[in-house]
Structure 1
Amino acid sequence: MIETDKKGCKGLLTQRMLLAVISSITFQFFIVCCLVLFRNLSLDYAHWFQETWTTVTSLRMWIFLVILAAMTFLQSVFCSKIYLHSPPYYKSRFTKLCATLTVQNLCLKASYIFMGGILVWLHLSLKGGMYNSLTADCSIIYGTCLVEEYYFLLFSGLWSGLYFSVKTNDSMKYFRFSIIAQSKFLRLRQGIYAMLPKLMVSSMWSTLYYMAVYYFLGSYCRGALLSVISVQTEVEPLDNMSRLLNLTLILQLWFHQFIFILTISSTYLLFEVYLTEWIPFKFGSSGAYSVDASELTLIDVLSMDKIPIMQHLGYLDLVTLAQKEKIRRGILFTLSQPGGHPYNWNCVVQKCIDILKKFSLDFNAITIKPQEQQFCYSTNVLTARITSAQPAQKEHIYHMRKLVPDITPMLSTEADTKEVPYSGMFIQKFIKQKREAFVAYLLSKPLINYIFGEQDDNKIRYVLLNGQLVIWAAEAISSLSVFSLSEDSYGVVQKDVPNIINTLLSVKQVLDKLQKSAVLARKIQADDKLTKEIFASLRSAIKRSLYRIVTNFESYINDLCLESLTIEQLQSFLNYRE
């Protein structure tokens, strides 16, 4: 993996995360100020603005801002571990449960609960009235009485943090990139407008669940609180149905739930807006002989598979220059000096084709049945031993095509295989078969299979969630191929057009096979909606890329040295029947 410190990757991501934190704190402060301004509404404008200014500049408000800044910064630290690393694959429900019980995830959920309580405390303190204190003077008897509505609303903040942490899966964050380039303010406004109806419904369900829980457990909470502080009660308990169905109390409870969910969702939205902002990367000045090795180049970013957000930014920049920037395309089509080789183009097309081929191989591995896997293992075991004993052969060495393949003598491989004792291999194979049989027997039990079993649907969803790179890779190389007809004066692209067409056709065949699978034939569920959207975008992008190439290279199809089967598959695109 490329060193992030050396290439400036860490500095770029740190800067964007810091700007997201500052913007989130500023946005939350703006929301609180608007609420204070609305609550102090009066016809006396001088008194209105004076009361608002006094409340905003009070010590309580600044304490809240300090706590909010600390909690937001802490959440950014936790989120950096989630956003800046590859999303994990949960093989079973048990592994997913273990992932939710990690120290990092538990600390993040605890921060939600704490922040929910702090947020409700601030709003109750700034509002004033009868719900701004836990105790008040009794009106009927002498002494201090408990204001049950105060801790009812205060506990609702803790409940909102718990509810949000349970409903959301923080370890599987999917970045939504803007289709049309927009400013950060427009993206924030559009994102808030889009999520407001969903947040209102979610806060409504959270309110109903909290009222139901308090109806059954409110007496225990009140008894525990009265045992700690020496106060009295002179009114009917709040867990009674007649008092619990107070419309004013319900609206205030829903408002606090909504404000908390809006606060957390806007924080994640700002992280997404800043981290997914397009940034242009430079090309290496002379390819492999580049002097400035500390500069972050496009080729370096495309190779950062361990840092998915950087790799996404690289492919976003690649598809942007491929479709909109003629000057940078000219740099991509030029030859490196010294040597006169298309270093930049070779690296770009190889990375894109590798992404497309990996996508096809992943889905082919999922669709192969277990019997077919065993058959493939028995027939290809000798080939696997030979290839493992040899050093890996690459199609490109030093980013140059290797025209003469290496042929390894069979005598050396036979000598290597004779060194392995037959008895040791037989024992290892026997133990492995018994272990696999025992595991298969355990997984045949419905309850064990439900907890520890692996489902193909999860694999398909996991691979599809990484489909954005496939879309951009297909769009980029197809657009570059088309523009090369008029802009590539060296002819460095035409040699790769047949390979590009074959790769895109293989991806199309995989997607056609996937369309008939069970994961897309079922009813749309909450977790399948995003999967189906990505799948539809994938199919459209692959077809659009093939149409783009076939339409512009229609006069040169016979000159591309394509196989007859490939030409037959392209006939549907030539006749516009796909």
Structure 2
Amino acid sequence: MMQSPAINPNLTSVQTFSYKDILVKKLVRAVACSVVSQIIILLCYIILANISIFHPIEWMTSIFHTFTYLSTWIFVIIFSFIIFAQCLICGKDYVLMTSYSSTRFQQFFRVLSLHNFTLLLLHVVIGGAFVWQILSIIDSSNHSLTTTCKLNRSCLVEDTFFLILSGFWTGLYFFVKVYISTKQLVFPVIQQRKFLQLRSKISVLFKESLTLSIWPTIYFALFYYIWGTQLENRFMFIVNLDRASRESSILIYMYSWWFSTLYCFSMNLMRFFFYLFLTETVQFPIVKENEYILTLQEGIVMNNLPIVQNLACLDLFMLSQWSPLRKQLFFTLSQPGGHPHNWNNLIESVVKLFTEYTDLLKKSTETTLPQDKAMKQNDIIKPFAPITLQSPTSPSVKYRNLRNMSCHSDYLNVVDVSHDVATNTVEDFKRSINGTIDKTTSFLKIFFGINFLFGELPQVNIQKCLGNGQLIIWASQGISELAAASLTEDKYGIVQKDLPLIITTLVQLKQNLDKLNKVPSLSKKVAALDDFNYKMKNAVAAAVKHSLFNMCLIFGDYFKDFPLSKDVLQYLHVNIMLKNCN
């Protein structure tokens, strides 16, 4: 089971704000830290590149001169603006609702969207600009793309051209391999201070970047070996340059790997800052003082902004564990009026969340196989069903299988049977034609790839369910803890009227979660142990079962007074394994 985050309740305080205030504050901090981190990485590289242990004075002098060059700060400012634009566009992917494409055709156009194309262009530009910026600032033989050669002609420096192209390639590789495939926000198990999280994560990110940058370097080396000469010739023809003579060195590949490492590290660091600030816990107001305040109850059902919904469900869980004063707000009555508005709004939001999740689970686990079998059985049985004559003038049609003693009985029977045989023959012919058309259509769809492109993917809804599983983990445990605490803390009995609704809703949710065990891709034999969907399935099921166990443990002696159905009581007794749940 995935553990829920633990936090000191004194770290944050209750605030009154709208969802825009939450998002703007978090995104501004993430973007600012990302831009500053890129500048720090550049400055650290400048210091290390000019290092001279045996000549410290020259080392400090060269660093001072590098920082005082106008070109240095021009590069830094331009690069910072590019990073700023990239962060703003990337922030949308972490804030807005993740879309799940139901067909391969939708997935194809989703990948080729304008948003992804803009991000791809920014990743590629930043990759090349990052390398160009470092080479231009550092005083080395590769600080310029051109050099003066014979007859005062401008010649191309092939090493610099190689490194800049490798930067473009690394940006393309990082976007396709890393960014476009991983956008799921993962909340930390334990909420720590930001500096501690950064200190513990920075070394891990750097090691991952060292490993990640190996493959793009190898791929680009092979690419440049095959098509490098053609690219150089085309570039020299366009800008009117000559070729400078040089000897190839393996050191250039080490530089390419090192620059790729720095780029991957800077991009991973930017993604980490989004995780760091967007997953920071927020304490929502419970009482709605005005229309501009976003309460905890409203945030739980705000599915159009999943980050806000996640934060609200996390706050509900933390409230039930660590905030006795805020918990009491749900056990109080409004004055004047004496109505439990806070609790009513909360239970309405939580039940709505559970119901929508249960409905999506039902849709996800539905299979067409039983329906097909039923249709085949109906097709087999239908020809043998009794057939009645649709003539209101025939009084003996209803009893045509009995002997009729009237003089015209034989004539009537002959007419009826012949009409029935003709009708059956026409219906069989129509059914045969329709079956042939259906088979031909299905064959053509498979032959031309129509089903492959436009057919609905069976695992999309399951992935969507499991992608939102963390909401159910926090909400189920939070509402069960509040309900359990009400036995001793709810002096007005506010929660008692909704206990049967909570238990029934959780049982229905658990029953539909059990159906996921029959999905082949989520079985233990097929799914890998580190697969996200497999782990999330087990985590959600364990959290809901733990919530039911908690409810049974606290209220098991009172179940006979609850208006619970026999099916719910039997499920609790059999699956939760409590003797007092009967």
Q: TM-score, normalised by structure 2?
A: 0.79
Q: CA deviation at 1:193?
A: 3.9
**Residues 363 and 461 in structure 2, CA contact (< 8 A), matched pair in contact too:** no
- 1:466 pairs with 2:464: no
**Residues 136 and 146 in structure 1, CA contact (< 8 A), matched pair in contact too:** yes
- 1:309 pairs with 2:314: no
Question: Which amino acid counterpart does residue 360 of structure 2 have in structure 1?
Answer: D
Q: CA deviation at 1:485?
A: 1.6
Q: Which residue of 1 aligns with 2:252?
A: 249
Q: Which residue of 2 aligns with 1:384?
A: none
**Residues 88 and 172 in structure 1, CA contact (< 8 A), matched pair in contact too:** no
- d(CA) in 2 for partners of 1:455 and 1:215? 41
Cα deviation, 1:205-251, whole Å, max 9, x if unaligned, reads 11111111111111111111232333233246xxxxxx4xx442222
Question: Which amino acid counterpart does residue 274 of structure 1 have in structure 2?
Answer: F
1:168-179 aligned at under 5 Å gives the runs 168=178, 170=180, 173-179=183-189
- d(CA) in 1 for partners of 2:526 and 2:136? 47
Q: Which residue of 1 aligns with 2:534?
A: 532
Aligned residue for 2:363, secondary structure, equals helix
Cα deviation, 1:506-542, whole Å, max 9, x if unaligned, reads 222222221231221364579x822223223212211
Distance verdict in 2 for CA 1:84–1:223, change over 3 Å: same
- 1:230 pairs with 2:241: yes
**Residues 119 and 260 in structure 1, CA contact (< 8 A), matched pair in contact too:** yes
Q: Which residue of 2 aligns with 1:59?
A: 70
Q: Which residue of 1 aligns with 2:428?
A: none
Q: CA deviation at 1:327?
A: 0.1
Q: Which residue of 2 aligns with 1:189?
A: 199
- 1:555 pairs with 2:557: yes
1:2-81 aligned at under 5 Å gives the runs 8-43=18-53, 44-81=55-92
Q: Which structure ranks higher in relative contact order (CA pairs < 8 Å, sequence separation ≥ 6)?
A: 2
- 1:120 pairs with 2:131: yes
Aligned residue for 1:130, secondary structure, equals coil
- d(CA) in 1 for partners of 2:436 and 2:139? 71
Q: Which residue of 1 aligns with 2:115?
A: 104
* Higher gyration radius (CA): 2
Question: Which amino acid counterpart does residue 48 of structure 2 have in structure 1?
Answer: F
- 1:352 pairs with 2:350: yes
Aligned residue for 1:115, secondary structure, equals helix
Q: Equivalent pairs: percent with the same residue?
A: 32
Aligned residue for 1:554, secondary structure, equals helix
**Residues 301 and 352 in structure 2, CA contact (< 8 A), matched pair in contact too:** no
Q: Which residue of 2 aligns with 1:261?
A: 264
Distance verdict in 2 for CA 1:335–1:136, change over 3 Å: same
Q: Which residue of 2 aligns with 1:455?
A: 457
Q: CA deviation at 1:451?
A: 2.6
Q: Which residue of 1 aligns with 2:141?
A: 130
Q: CA deviation at 1:21?
A: 1.1
**Residues 37 and 52 in structure 1, CA contact (< 8 A), matched pair in contact too:** yes
Cα deviation, 1:246-292, whole Å, max 9, x if unaligned, reads 4422221111111111112211221221122111111225xxxx5x2
Q: Which residue of 2 aligns with 1:273?
A: 276
Q: CA deviation at 1:120?
A: 0.4
**Residues 83 and 126 in structure 2, CA contact (< 8 A), matched pair in contact too:** no
Cα deviation, 1:28-49, whole Å, max 9, x if unaligned, reads 1222222222222223444433
Cα deviation, 1:17-62, whole Å, max 9, x if unaligned, reads 1111111111112222222222222234444334323323432332
**Residues 120 and 154 in structure 1, CA contact (< 8 A), matched pair in contact too:** yes
Q: Which residue of 2 aligns with 1:321?
A: 319
- d(CA) in 1 for partners of 2:119 and 2:62? 36
Aligned residue for 1:136, secondary structure, equals strand
Q: TM-score, normalised by structure 1?
A: 0.80
**Residues 120 and 157 in structure 1, CA contact (< 8 A), matched pair in contact too:** yes
2:361 counterpart (351, 359, 363): 363
**Residues 300 and 353 in structure 2, CA contact (< 8 A), matched pair in contact too:** no
Q: Which residue of 2 aligns with 1:300?
A: 298
- d(CA) in 2 for partners of 1:80 and 1:436? 47
- 1:205 pairs with 2:203: no
Aligned residue for 1:218, secondary structure, equals helix
501-510 or 328-337, which deviates more: 501-510
Question: Which amino acid counterpart does residue 349 of structure 1 have in structure 2?
Answer: I
Distance verdict in 2 for CA 1:151–1:523, change over 3 Å: farther
516-525 or 302-311, which deviates more: 516-525
Q: Which residue of 2 aligns with 1:509?
A: 511
**Residues 305 and 311 in structure 1, CA contact (< 8 A), matched pair in contact too:** yes
Aligned residue for 1:17, secondary structure, equals helix
- d(CA) in 2 for partners of 1:376 and 1:321? 50
Q: Which residue of 2 aligns with 1:90?
A: 101
Question: Which amino acid counterpart does residue 77 of structure 1 have in structure 2?
Answer: L
Q: CA deviation at 1:295?
A: 2.3
**Residues 177 and 276 in structure 1, CA contact (< 8 A), matched pair in contact too:** yes
- 1:482 pairs with 2:487: no
Give aligned pairs, total.
502
1:332-343 aligned at under 5 Å gives the runs 332-343=330-341
1:496 counterpart (495, 498, 523): 498
Aligned residue for 1:304, secondary structure, equals coil
Q: Which residue of 2 aligns with 1:422?
A: none
**Residues 516 and 537 in structure 2, CA contact (< 8 A), matched pair in contact too:** no
- d(CA) in 2 for partners of 1:573 and 1:95? 42
Question: Which amino acid counterpart does residue 464 of structure 2 have in structure 1?
Answer: Y
Distance verdict in 2 for CA 1:363–1:477, change over 3 Å: same
Identify unmatched segments of 5+ residues in structure 2.
1-15, 376-434
**Residues 364 and 459 in structure 2, CA contact (< 8 A), matched pair in contact too:** no
- d(CA) in 2 for partners of 1:272 and 1:439? 48
Aligned residue for 2:147, secondary structure, equals strand
Distance verdict in 2 for CA 1:439–1:294, change over 3 Å: farther
78-87 or 148-157, which deviates more: 78-87
2:522 counterpart (520, 523, 527): 520
Aligned residue for 2:576, secondary structure, equals helix
**Residues 283 and 297 in structure 1, CA contact (< 8 A), matched pair in contact too:** yes
Distance verdict in 2 for CA 1:189–1:452, change over 3 Å: farther
Cα deviation, 1:438-495, whole Å, max 9, x if unaligned, reads 9755543473333322221222112211112111111111111111122111111122
**Residues 87 and 171 in structure 1, CA contact (< 8 A), matched pair in contact too:** no
**Residues 313 and 474 in structure 2, CA contact (< 8 A), matched pair in contact too:** yes
**Residues 551 and 574 in structure 1, CA contact (< 8 A), matched pair in contact too:** no
**Residues 203 and 258 in structure 1, CA contact (< 8 A), matched pair in contact too:** yes
Aligned residue for 1:456, secondary structure, equals coil
Distance verdict in 2 for CA 1:91–1:211, change over 3 Å: same
- d(CA) in 2 for partners of 1:316 and 1:435? 54
107-116 or 66-75, which deviates more: 66-75
- d(CA) in 1 for partners of 2:153 and 2:83? 41
**Residues 360 and 507 in structure 1, CA contact (< 8 A), matched pair in contact too:** yes
